[in-house]
Structure 1
């Protein structure tokens, strides 16, 4: 993470890409809300994460439809999965939210099934 302070810090910020600056802002927001960085989340752990939804996809499955959203906090991605849902008001790409639940792994990716969540006001 790029830190403010001193000439060296200012030079790093000037040389940073827009994606790096966005990741830094997301990480600061997650820390300010008391959430754990997604990169530190471990399987089986009850975690609170905060970030921006990158993608939201409805997956129609024969047995159980699912709504999946990738939450990016600037350090890693946690996929939020709502089982039996086709749509949830406010769950859309670009929306910022905090989510809480037990971390699982699916195909070596961090997942929270049926998370408790709180939407941040739209910007």
Structure 2
């Protein structure tokens, strides 16, 4: 580690360092960054699970998984699910589906997913 890297680590905020770590973690996977994903188009994004919550929708549970890749965050909604085995905060995941803009973030409804090690 050079002096410039050490100086950058001490002068950057923890948020900036975390964003850089996420971008480096997923740079080798052939995906589109979340901030570049176009709404209403098939997308393949990758990121780290940031949060998981169960939200009732039309009388049945929906699992909402927030994923971040260092550029933005997206929400994957799995209808009728309370949990997905292996999906937990900190885990890497690839999501494939058609995205839509909800508020200021990308949302994918029932996307195909691949868990990363």
> Under a length normalisation based on structure 2, what TM-score does the superposition of the two structures give?
0.86
* Cα shift at 1:66: 0.5
Residue correspondences, number: 117
Q: Secondary structure at the match of 1:31?
A: coil
Q: 1:105 to 1:11 in 2, by over 3 A?
A: same
Query: What CA RMSD, in Å, does the superposition of the two structures yield over aligned residues?
Result: 2.1
Check the 8 A contact 1:31/1:37 in 2, yes or no: no
Q: 1:77-96 alignment to 2 at 5 Å? A: 77-96=73-92
| Greater share of residues in strand | 2
- TM-score, reference length from structure 1: 0.82
Segment of structure 1 superposing worse, 111-120 or 90-99: 90-99
**Which runs of no fewer than 5 residues in structure 1 stay unpaired?**
none
Cα distance change, pair 96–11 in 1 and its aligned pair in 2 (3 A): same
Structure 1 position 42 matched with structure 2 position 26? no
Structure 2: 5+ residue stretches without partners: none
Residues 53 and 96 of structure 1 are in contact (CA less than 8 Å); yes or no, is this contact kept in structure 2? Answer: yes
